[in-house]
Amino acid sequence: MVIRLLPLLLLTCATLLTAQTPKVPLVELYTDNQGLYFPAGRTLYAVIFDDGRLEYMDTTNRDLVVKQRVLTAADLIALRQRLESKAILPFTGIINAEHQPQRSDYQTNLEVSIGRDHTRQRFVMRGFDAEDARPFPQLFNAFLCVIDDFKHVQYRLSWNCANSQ
């Protein structure tokens, strides 16, 4: 009896281990805040997985809490369509804000990684800040508006997002 149950037990354990293995993210965004800005250093901004799980850092109350949500199927489809659009595909390497202030006590960089078949598209948006008249490029900002809308938090890197979805 024990010998008959052993294969079933092994199959059950393998299934549980597979189910708990984290999947490769569809989209990863990290801020890298340098200077006198909270939170300093590299911080999770948002990660979205293929199954619709969203993990993000909520810095609204300056307490650095990682929160989770699950996107609707419609939101996930819309996100995938946006990722495949020509608006995001051209971004590579380091993209610097056109206007850099003479003096600044901080700089925020946004590291972006997007899963594409068997590769990752990676780029860094460096020195952009809408509050200091250095907004993200319009097409990228529209993508960021969608991410910020998913997060439902007060602090947003995006700007002027009335028509983001």
Assigned domain for 158 exists: no
Query: What is residue 100's predicted lDDT score, i.e. its pLDDT?
Result: 64
Assigned domain for 105 exists: yes
Assigned domain for 45 exists: yes
Query: What is residue 102's predicted lDDT score, i.e. its pLDDT?
Result: 59
Domain with residue 29: its CATH number is: 3.30.1560
SS (H, E, C) the chain: CHHHHHHHHHHHHHHHHHHHCCCCEEEEEEEEEEECCCCCEEEEEEEEECCCEEEEEECCCCCCEEEEEECCHHHHHHHHHHHHCCCCCCCCEEEECCCCCCCCCEEEEEEEEEEECCEEEEEEEECCEHHHCECCCHHHHHHHHHHHHHHCCCCCCCCCCCCCC
Query: What is residue 101's predicted lDDT score, i.e. its pLDDT?
Result: 61
Assigned domain for 8 exists: no
Assigned domain for 2 exists: no
Query: What is residue 11's predicted lDDT score, i.e. its pLDDT?
Result: 41
Query: What is residue 160's predicted lDDT score, i.e. its pLDDT?
Result: 86
Assigned domain for 116 exists: yes
Query: What is residue 9's predicted lDDT score, i.e. its pLDDT?
Result: 41
Query: What is residue 18's predicted lDDT score, i.e. its pLDDT?
Result: 42
Assigned domain for 163 exists: no
Query: What is residue 73's predicted lDDT score, i.e. its pLDDT?
Result: 96
Which stretches in the chain have pLDDT values below 70? 1-22, 36-39, 61, 100-105, 130-133, 163-165
Assigned domain for 159 exists: no
Query: What is residue 165's predicted lDDT score, i.e. its pLDDT?
Result: 47
| Domain count of the fold of the chain | 1
Query: What is residue 41's predicted lDDT score, i.e. its pLDDT?
Result: 80
